[in-house]
Amino acid sequence: MMQNSNLISTENLASCLDNPNIRVIDCRFDLGDPAAGRRAYEAGHIAGAVFADLDKDLSAPIRPDSGRHPLPEVSELAAALGDFGIDSTTDVIVYDGGAGALAARAWWLLRWMGHGRVRLLDGGFQQWLAEARPIVAGEERAKKRVFAANPRGDRIVSTDELVANSAAISELKLIDARDAARFLGEVEPIDAVAGHIPGSINLPYTRSLNEEGRWRSREELESLWSSVLGDDTETSWIAMCGSGVTACHLAISALQAGYREPRLYVGSWSEWIRDPKRPIAVGEGPDRPSRAADLA
């Protein structure tokens, strides 16, 4: 894997599973069937992995003014991480079914809480199975540890901040990880309103992956991000998506390419549309949203 990478290969993970300071978190989840992730985990998972539920562990309950996956309360998330067997000495590996779009949320939350020792499994559980690596069934619980939270408020963007700068969104470099059809408002299978925030840029998180669902090389990611942010790797930007989950995948992608880590608009599209007075755009109209060039 890449030096100083936020990713880990299945081979490298398999070689260190016996390390007591390694904690593996299974983040599989299905938006259409919220109980499916736990069922899949109990049917078979990487040995030693504990299960984190996107709705219950990695998000707070939905509020009338929030998006679909609000941030957990710091104290509650710290308690959950401690229950998972994580403290300041723990190296954490997160995975989901494959692409990492859901596990990236756990990766981001740990970093937001001040814990940088976390990596995402390249290829996820799908790759682990494809290599015929061993799995175990049932539920596992880790020995509890005390997680000391040091939340990074500077990594978050609020709806109020975006509303206050709504006339200059393009200058903030707000990048939306949803697929192009949802961004353009051609389809909307999840949220009540279709479209995007005027001035935002579309970069589907899947562009960071190859046809096999593995992460692209650093060179390919550099090319991708250069087409979106230009050559200044220190430029500031903001990641968003439908509910602040797959946007975290963009953060990993940018870091892998050598670019600055973004702030996250946690509420994302599902929070933005709570107020009908907030502007929206569909198609490629007057705001001319940029879209990253396809990679071969």
Q: CA 250 → CA 8, 63, 211, 254, distances in Å?
A: 17, 25, 17, 6
Active-site pick, 16, 27, 241, 248:
241
Q: CA 70 to CA 157: how far, in whole Å?
A: 12
Note whether 270 and 181 are within 8 A (CB): no
Note the maximum CA span of the chain.
56
In which residue are the tokens 């903030």 written?
Answer: 172
Spell out the alpha helix ranges (H) of the chain: 10-15, 36-43, 74-83, 103-112, 124-130, 159-164, 169-172, 180-183, 218-229, 247-256, 268-272
- Is 241 tagged catalytic? yes
Q: CA 103 to CA 69: how far, in whole Å?
A: 14
Note whether 240 and 177 are within 8 A (CB): yes
Q: CA 218 to CA 58: how far, in whole Å?
A: 29
Q: Which of 23, 20, 34 is nearest to 95 (CA)?
A: 23
Q: CA 162 to CA 169: how far, in whole Å?
A: 7
Written as six digits, the tokens of 293 are 């060039």
Written as six digits, the tokens of 91 are 């190296």
Q: Which of 224, 237, 289 is nearest to 264 (CA)?
A: 237
So which residues are the catalytic ones? Answer: 241
